[in-house]
Structure formats: C-alpha cells, structure tokens
Structure 1
Amino acid sequence: KGFGHNLKIILDITITIQILCVYSSAQDAEGRCICTVVAPEQNLCSRDAKEGQLRQLLEKVQNMSQSIEVLNLRTQRDFQYIMRMEGQFKGLRSKQAGVNNPERELKGKMETLQPLIPVLEQYKTDAQLVVQFKQEIRNLSMALTAIQEEIGAYDSEELQQTVLSLESRLRNCMSKLTCGKLMKITGPVTVKTSGTRFGAWMTDPQASPTNNRVWYMDSYTNNKIVKEYKSIADFVSGAESRTYNLPFKWAGTNHVVYNGSLYYNKVQSNIVVCYRFETGRVVTQRALENAGFHNVYPYTWGGFSDIDLMADELGLWAVYATNQNAGNIVISQLNPETLQILGTWNTEYSKRNAGESFMICGTLYITNSHLTGAKVYYAYSTKTSSYEYTDIPFHNQYFHMSMLDYNARDRALYGWNNGHQVLFNITLFHIIKTEDDS
C-alpha cells in the first residue's frame, strides 16, 4: 500500500541542493500537503564527469528515501493494526477461560485473530530495520551534501558501492511483503479535478520504478482519445506528453494499462482490445464468449460498465456477467498476449448489484454501491473458489464512484469520483517471509 511511485512524499532528509517543487491541492491521509520534488535540475552539476556521477547518486538516494518512507508507513500502520488486534485477542482469550461453553461467535473471533500472533515479533524487527535504513540514508545524504560543496573530498567509487549496498538491502526487505488480504481502505487523496463525471486514469503496475507515466481516458462512451503524461506532476499541471487516437471507441470506464499495453472493451461489443502504446497499433482482440455488453449487465451506475478489465499481482483479469450464470459476476484470467482465457470462476453475486470491483492477489473485492455509504461487501478468492461477506468501508468523498482499480506496484486504489481523480491507501494483512521459510 502507499503511493510510493507517484505522489512523492516529502522526507525529513535535507539535501542542500537546488530543487524544483511542483505543488498541488493533494493531501495525504493525515491532511498534510503533498508536492513532487525533482532534484537536481537538468542543468545542475554538468561541469565534469564527477559531478555527473554525483547527480546520479543524488537521484538514487532520493528514490531510495521515498521507497523507505513508503515501507516505513506500511510497516508502522500494519504494526499498529496488529497491536490492536493482539489486545482484542488477549481479551477474548480471557473471556474464553471464564466460560465453560464458549459461544460460536467467540470461537470465530478467536480463529480470526489467532494468525496475527506469530507474525507480531517479525513486524517489530522490520520496524527497527526501517528506522536503521532511514538513519543510514540520512548519513549518506549529509556526505553527498559535503561533496556538493567540495567535489573530490570523498571516494566516488566507495560512495557508489554504499548506494548499491543500500539498494540491495532495501529490495530484500521489500520482497518480504507478500500477497495479503484486504483489511482497510483509507483516504482518499485528491490528485486532480478534471473531465466529466465519468472516466478512468491509471499507471502501469508492470512499469519500472522510474517510469511513472499516467494515462487519462475521459467519459464512458463516444471517445477514443487517450492522453499521456510523463509523471503525476505533469498530470496535475496538465502538461501532456502525447495523445493516442485509438482505432475503436471504448465502452465504460474499466480499462487497464498492463506491461505497456492498454486493454479496453470495444464499444457495443463484448470484444476486448489490446492496444500497444509503443507501436500505436492493436496487438490482438478477442470476444469474451457469452459476456453481456452495452448495459445488459453493468455496475449499479450504468455507463456501459459491463466488462471490467483489471490487473493484480497474479496477472490480467476480466470481470463480467453472462446469461448462463444468471447475470452473476464471472471472473476470467486472461493471457496478456493472446487474450485467451486461462481460467474462469462463477460467483453468486449479481453484477447489477455491484458498485465497482477490483482484484488484489487473486481475490475479487466487490463494493455494494457507487454512492455515499458504499463499502467492500463481498470477496471471492480464485485460489480457494470460495467467497465471504466483508464490511470494509471507504470514504466516497464526491458521492459518485465510476471507476475503482487496484495498482499492485503502488499498493493503492485509483478512483474516478464524480470528476475527481483520487487515490486510496490500503492495508493488507500479509505474512512476512523469513529466511527459515521453505
């Protein structure tokens, strides 16, 4: 979870070099203003080769600082959540000891909370590790500042090795965070207000950490123009880098960019189109057999939202409904290159009663409305082919949600909320892998 790759978090690490700040009206979950920092400027440190190396190191340190801050937020929030759950567990255990015939509900809560206890100590260890990383980054930033004032006072090769070592350790720490179960949604952060009431915006979860391009698709029908921005900052300021004129108009707002390609529903059909941005051409297109389209089985808000394309940690998915499944939601995993169906799961949740849905780690989460008071009400696991009812509220700030999609790279939900482009933070319950795990 977190907005690490897009909304740049201002850290408590001071680097005394010239910077460029792009401010917006966005706020984080604690109400603090957010700005994007780009450092150093392109014409800075261009006098010789050593200064060029220093510029690259400064950029790496800044990127690592942002990633560490995201990891810190994730670890601290999950740690606080688990500490509260541990308190509940101990309270329930005391109640159970004093009752000869515990009620079924009490047993259920005990079983739900039991898995949290073994991972608590690992969370404490990770929290300490993040604090150590932050201190090392702070020390390295101070060294870089001194070099900025007097080039050559520090062995650049030794500095390079220090940066590489920190990068490696950070990647190892991040890799411990595996797929998890959705526990909480916070926010939203309002990124921008633009377009009509309905639309979609997204980044590519398969892109590299340095590729933060944003794609913007306004309206749910009668349009085939996709706008591209090089970064969140450019998106906020309205500085387009490129536009794409698609060969076919789209239906709905449930598109996804995955590994450099746009996947969308061709208007007035059940055909899924794969459009490659690099070549500006359609790679492939394929019909979803029996899938309803053109407001036969839309979400509650309508808008030709019959076919929802999405991606998560496990790949590309299509969510739709068929007559054969009595209008209930069908989940299909797709081959990103051929669009062939790799597997299909039939749920018992009516597509017309769903507000929106999104996939996280192979589980489909469904909201019960697109209006105020909506919550994540139902979850279907493709791993176990089973479902459960949930009660996870989220703040529908602008009263009408027409797009809600999970980005696995950012661990965030992208939303289009009544003409506002927003981001939601999420909390996942996950097991942290250790070196002893097989």
Structure 2
Amino acid sequence: MRALFVVLKPLCFLALLGYCPSATIRPKEGWQVYSSAQEADGRCICTVVAPEQNLCSRDAKSRQLRQLLEKIQNMSQSIEVLNLRTQRDFQYVMKMESQMKGLRSKFRQIESNRRTLLTKNFQELKGKMNELQPLIPVLEQYKTDATLISQFKQEIRNLSLVLTAIQEEIGAYDYEELQQRVLGLEGRLRNCMNKLTCGKLMKITGPITVKTSGTRFGAWMTDPQASPKNNKVWYMDSYTNNKIVREYKSVSDFVAGVESRTYNLPFHWAGTNHVVYNGSLYYNKYQSNIIVRYSFESGRVTTQRALESAGFHNVYPYTWGGFSDIDLMADELGLWAIYATNQNAGNIVISQLDPLTIQVLNTWNTEYSKRNAGESFMICGTLYITNSHLTGAKVYYSYSTKTSTYEYMDIPIHNQYFHMSMLDYNARDRALYGWNNGHQVLFNVTLFHIIKTDDES
C-alpha cells in the first residue's frame, strides 16, 4: 500500500500541472482512472488523468478533484498507519515464533525427561508392588484368622459360662458323692438297656462303608452271642464255588487286612445268607436244602440237617439270584431260616430253629413272594422284607411271628453302591451288616421301644 501511495502522488501532481492528454479526454468530461498495473516487485501503479488546463477552475469537478485528493491523502495516511502496525505485528510474530521454537525445544526436553521420570517412577512402583505381592495371601489369611479368632473367643466365652455353672454345681458335692451318683446312673442305664431287647423298626440310616474288597457278592459278620470283648469278624467272598472263611480279631484288623485264621469248610456254600451264632457258622450246603453247622472252635461240622420242602439252587432266590434260596439269620429271640416252598406257592416261610440240632421249632407262612423280595432280616421276631436289591429299595413288608400278622411299610434304605447281595441284623450291635456291590457296609437302625420300669425316680 505504501508503494501505491509513492507512485500515485507524483501522478496526481502531474495532473494538477495540466498534463491532460486531449486524445483521451473529451470536452466537458470529468477525470477518470484509465489503467492500473503491478510491477514485478509487487508495487501497484495507477495512472490518473486530470481534465484539460482550461477546464481546471472552481467548478463542481474541481471540488470533486479536491475531495478525491483529500480521500487519497486520508487513504495514504491510513495505509501508512496500517503499514507501521503490520511491521510491528510482523516483528512481534517473529519474536513469538522464536519464543515458540524455544518453547517447543523445552517441551521436547520436558517430554523426554517426563518419560524418563515416568519410566523410572513406574519401575520403582513395580518393584514396590512386587515386594508387596507376597503380603496379599498373608492379609487374606489374616482376615480368615481374624474371623476364626473371633469365633474362638465367642466359643471360649460360652465354654467359660458352662464351666462356671459346672464348677458351681460340683462345689455343692464332694467327689465320693458324685462318684456314687454316677454309679447309680450307670446301674439304672444298664437296667434300661436290658429292657430294650425288642422294638419295632422305625428308621434305617447310613450306610457306613467299612471296607471295599472281594467280588460283587459275599458276606461278612460278627457273632451276636459273643462277649463284649470278642469282636471277631468272619469274611466269606462270593456266593458259590468257595469254602474259605477268613477270620479277623477285630474290625480294625479286618479293615487293615490282618487275618488271624483261615477255615477250609468241608462243603461249598450256596448264596450269601450265612450267620455266625454262638461260636458256630450256619450255612446252606451247595446244591441242596441242607443246613450245615460248623464249629470254629473244633474246626469241624457238628450238625447238618435238611430243611424239608425248602426250594434251593435258584428255585426261590431273592431278586438278585445267586442261589439265595435259604437265608439264615439271628436276632434277639434266636436262630431263623427264611425260605420258600411249593406248598406255600413260592411265598416266604419263616422257621425258628434250634441252634444245636437245627430242628424246626415253629413255622409261619407269609403271603409275600420270595422271588419279589430283595433281601430280608429279623428283628425281635419280626421279619422285614425289602422290595428290591437295587437303587430305590425300601423296607416294604413286615411279618410278626408274635401276632402272626403282616404290615406294609415304607422305610427307605440307601443302596449307595447299587447292588445289595447280603443284609443281616446283628442284635448285639443293633446294626445291619450289608454287602453292597463289593463294599462291606453298616446301617444303623432306629427301633421304637416301650419301656416299663419299676424305678421311676
């Protein structure tokens, strides 16, 4: 803009001096700008032609010219001011550009240093976290231990209260008096237990798995007539083609597999429904209805007798088969044989036997098919029959020899290993011994008792 003012000003002077080419200006015509151009260096050039000399007077056009010149001067001054501002702003921008370059360099340096510092700090934090990492399980355990400690404190408070009460009560008696009271209670308990000889089956719980051994079928038992100190166990694997009886001094020896003696019977047995009673083994001789009594003390057969009309050799077995036609068992009232006959249409027959002679003392005919029974056992002269040897079995039917009446029942029995091939009651232990698919198990029984006592104190 400044270059425009420099060029335009001399041209205006020429116009005022009367340089008005007549070839381009017609009479009575005002001034005009005929051309404009720009030089190579960027300067603007304007050509202004004023009116002829004889026309330059104080007329309207002269006033227009003066006004135009005033406007040009004002524009020139504004352009000069703008030029100064532009130069100032340009210097300011240059200065700012230099400062920005410096700041950019500083920012780069700071960024580089920041990354270095961050990396360093991160490594330090990571190292600290690695050091703290093993403390996390300790803290978790501490939380658990704190909970346990709180529980222990509460239990200790409760026990302290109980002990305080006991201590206060004990303080009221001397030791000899307390001992006499204990002996008296023990005596009353024995008298009560002696009267708990019989009861009605109400519930079966378990089983408890004692051991896993042998084949799917077999029998194991203790002697219900043995003294409390005699805890021998007898073990007979398989339901046929075997004559070996293994003896163990205790249940713990049985579990550990420590045999005390082995007996080789003179005859093979049939089925798994044997019983040890008062020191002798009673079992069904293979392929016959003969019952054999074998004495463990003498190691020989003392008695054998045929059970007349009894089916044998899978004629009337339990539901699982296995030559289980004749089932020998014992309870609080003595020795029993459970079997079926043609005369009773294959239904179960109950016979009480003399332990010494194996003679039939009494017989009861039931209306329950032997082939539909899973297993059976006697408690207090009542026969209890399960409806299956498989899963879902339950005690379904009972027959009382005391009243010669039967009853349908619904007492579940947990067949844990899916196949029961032996189930016998032991009156001394008041438990059911079972052989459950190669597992030797025990069931607890709950009996309903009516106790009559002379001492009601």
From 305, 309, 316, the counterpart of 1:297: 316
CA contact (8 A) 2:317 2:370 kept: yes
CA contact (8 A) 2:373 2:385 kept: yes
Look up the match of 1:172. 191
1:236 and 2:255 matched: yes
Per the alignment, in what secondary structure is the counterpart of residue 253 of structure 2?
helix
Per the alignment, in what secondary structure is the counterpart of residue 178 of structure 1?
coil
Q: CA deviation at 1:338?
A: 0.3
1:376 and 2:395 matched: yes
Question: Deviation digits for residues 53-93 of structure 1, max 9, x if unmatched?
Answer: xxxxxxxxxxxxxxxxxxxxxxxxxxxxxxxxxxxxxxxxx
Look up the match of 1:144. none
Per the alignment, in what secondary structure is the counterpart of residue 202 of structure 2?
strand
Q: CA deviation at 1:385?
A: 0.7
Q: CA deviation at 1:169?
A: 4.3
- Give distance in 1, aligned partners of 2:179 and 2:358: 43
CA contact (8 A) 2:197 2:380 kept: no
- Give distance in 2, aligned partners of 1:204 and 1:216: 12
Look up the match of 2:364. 345
Per the alignment, in what secondary structure is the counterpart of residue 299 of structure 1?
coil
From 407, 412, 416, the counterpart of 2:431: 412
Identical-residue share of aligned pairs (%): 87
Look up the match of 1:80. none
Look up the match of 1:193. 212
Tell me which amino acid in the other structure corresponds to 2:421. S
1:277 and 2:319 matched: no
1:315 and 2:334 matched: yes
CA contact (8 A) 1:178 1:432 kept: no
Question: Residue 239 and residue 341 in structure 1: after superposition, are their counterparts in 2 closer, same or farther (change >3 A)?
Answer: same
Question: Deviation digits for residues 329-378 of structure 1, max 9, x if unmatched?
Answer: 00000000000100000000000000000000000000000000000000
Per the alignment, in what secondary structure is the counterpart of residue 406 of structure 2?
strand
Tell me which amino acid in the other structure corresponds to 2:216. R
Tell me which amino acid in the other structure corresponds to 1:202. M
Tell me which amino acid in the other structure corresponds to 1:193. T
CA contact (8 A) 2:271 2:323 kept: yes
Look up the match of 1:260. 279
Q: CA deviation at 1:178?
A: 3.4
Question: Deviation digits for residues 15-40 of structure 1, max 9, x if unmatched?
Answer: xxxxxxxxxxxxxxxxxxxxxxxxxx
TM normalised by structure 1 equals: 0.62
Tell me which amino acid in the other structure corresponds to 1:225. I
**Aligned positions of 1:201-212 closer than 5 A:** 201-212=220-231
Look up the match of 1:332. 351
**Aligned positions of 1:416-431 closer than 5 A:** 416-431=435-450
Unaligned 5+ segments in structure 1 are 1-134, 140-153
Question: Deviation digits for residues 113-164 of structure 1, max 9, x if unmatched?
Answer: xxxxxxxxxxxxxxxxxxxxxx9xxx9xxxxxxxxxxxxxx99xx9999997
1:250 and 2:248 matched: no
Tell me which amino acid in the other structure corresponds to 1:284. T
RMSD: 2.2
**Aligned positions of 1:217-236 closer than 5 A:** 217-236=236-255
Question: Residue 162 and residue 224 in structure 1: after superposition, are their counterparts in 2 closer, same or farther (change >3 A)?
Answer: farther
Look up the match of 2:50. none
TM normalised by structure 2 equals: 0.60
Q: Kindly indicate which of the two structures has a greater share of residues assigned to helix.
A: 2
From 199, 214, 235, the counterpart of 1:216: 235
